[in-house]
Amino acid sequence: MSALLRLYPRAWRDRYLDELSALLAERPPSSRDRLDLLGGALDAWLHPQVVAATQDDDRQPLVRPVGTAALAALGGALWIAGGVVQNGTRFDPGLGYKEASAGFPLIVVGAFITALAAIAFAWGGSDGRATLRRAAVAMFAFALLLSMGWPLLLIGFFGYTISVIAFGALLAGAPRSRAGILLVPAALVVTSFNTETTMALAAVPFGLAWIAVGAAALWRPAPATASAT
């Protein structure tokens, strides 16, 4: 039985192991109970109630809100600059594609910086959740692919935009982060950036959405201290 209870996360065990062990001593578990405990351990890893109560909510933000806002604004500005430069570039339909433009490096750096802003959001304050963090890390990983040239940049571009959609929707669901929803339509628009050379300005609303989301971070009150267990 103790082997089964060891499957629970450490924070969970620190909080509940004693009393659960006492309960199991009073009521020896059936095979159905063992399965239930196995499901409980899986749930405790997937939806960490105790970690969230004792560590997540008490932790210091990875980056202060002003730093998060600055990263989002810088990343957004780079996307806008990249789109504007791309839009002003003449392309040879036979040879040129957008990554050949001087604007493309701006876009790539913008993708990295916005991914860092997303990571700062996901690890900052009480809005931090596992799914939000995964979306932020995925953004960074896809930004890395975006910087690697054909054919990886294509996977990177679409992976990055899909991650942004997921991140924006998750962020919008968190308390006091409603502006995250702006990223969803903006990321949908920006997908046309990659398919049409004439759609370079699709990067502009995307950049503006990041700036708006970053600005909203400044109005977020500091996370309340949760009463732990």
Q: Which residues bind another protein (CB under 8 A)?
A: 12, 15-16, 18-24, 26-27, 29, 32-33, 35-41, 43-44, 49-50, 52-53, 226-227, 229
**Class of residue 12 by CB neighbours under 10 A (exposed 0-12, middle 13-18, buried 19+):** buried
Q: Supply 186's token pair.
A: 């903006």
Say if CB 170 and CB 133 are below 8 A apart.
Answer: no
For residue 69, give the H/E element and its range: helix 65-87
Q: How many CA atoms lie within 13 A of 162 on its CB side?
A: 10
Please, which residue, 50 or 74, has the CB nearer to another protein? 50
Residue 185 CB, nearest distance to another protein (Å)? 25
Residue 191 CB, nearest distance to another protein (Å)? 32
Please, which residue, 16 or 112, has the CB nearer to another protein? 16
Q: What is the Cα 173 distance to its own chain's centre?
A: 13
Distance (Å, rounded) from C-alpha 77 to C-alpha 106? 9
């040129």: which residue's tokens?
96
Please, which residue, 98 or 129, has the CB nearer to another protein? 129
Please, which residue, 54 or 101, has the CB nearer to another protein? 54
Please, which residue, 51 or 73, has the CB nearer to another protein? 51
Please state whether the peptide bond connecting residue 29 to the residue before it is cis, i.e. omega within 30 degrees of 0.
Answer: no
b/e string for 155-172 if b means 16 or more Cβ within 10 A?
Answer: ebbbbbbbbbbbbbbbbb
Please, which residue, 35 or 100, has the CB nearer to another protein? 35
